[in-house]
Amino acid sequence: MRKVRIFEHISLDGVIEHDANYTYGGWTAPYRTPAGMALLLEMYGTRFDMLLGRKTYDEFLGYWPNAGDFPMANAINAATKYVVTHRPESLEWGPVGHLGEDIIAGLRDLKSTAGPDLVLCGSISLTSVLLDAGLIDEVILIVYPVLLGKGKRLLSDSFDARKLEFVRTVTTPTGVLLNTYRHLGALNS
C-alpha cells in the first residue's frame, strides 16, 4: 500500500504563497543550498509519484520539463503525475494519470496499489480535502525562518482539526526546518 505524503514550503506564520501578485515570490531562494536540497531529496525518497491539482500541474509544466539535468528535476520529471482535473485529455507532461470524477475514491484505489509513495506538493485546495478524508499519511513542513504576514495558508478556513504525531526534524545549514509528522486522524475535543 502506498503512503500519501504532503510536502509544503511554509513560513513561520503559516503562509505558503505570499499573495496573488507574488510580492515576495522568491522568499525561499535565499535559504536554498546544495546541502538543503540533498536533505529534501532524501526525504522525498529515491522514487515517488505525485498528486497535483490542475493549477499546480500547469505551473509545474511551465518549469520542470525544461529545468535541466539535476536530481530534483530528474525525479519530478520521472514521477507519474496523478492530476485532479476535469480535462484529463489535455494533460501533456507525463508520465501522467488522473484520479477520475471522484477524487476520494480514486485516491483510495490508487493508494491500494503497489508503487512508490505519492507526494502532494503545492495544490493547497487538495490538502484540506485529503486530510479531512483521512487519506494523508504524513505531513512534511519545510519551515523557513521568515514571517510573511499575509497570503495563502496551508489549510482552508473550513478545515476540521486533525491530530499529528511528531516523527523527526532535520535542519538545513540556513536554518530551514524539515519537520515530519504522522497523521493520526481527527482531533477529539
Q: What is the CATH number assigned to the segment(s) 4-174?
A: 3.40.430.10
Question: What grid cell was written down for 47?
Answer: 522514487
Of 12 and 153, more confident: 12
pLDDT digits (tens, 9 = 90+) for 127-139: 888 998 999 999 9
Residue extents of the structural domains in the chain: 4-174
| 7/50 Cα distance (integer angstroms) | 11
Residues in the chain: 189
pLDDT digits (tens, 9 = 90+) for 65-114: 999 998 889 999 999 999 988 887 888 898 999 888 899 999 999 999 99
| Contacts of 72 by beta carbon, 8 Å cutoff, 6+ apart | 37, 40, 41
Which range has the worst mean pLDDT, 29-38, 97-106, 119-128, 168-177?
A: 119-128
Question: What grid cell was written down for 66?
Answer: 525544461
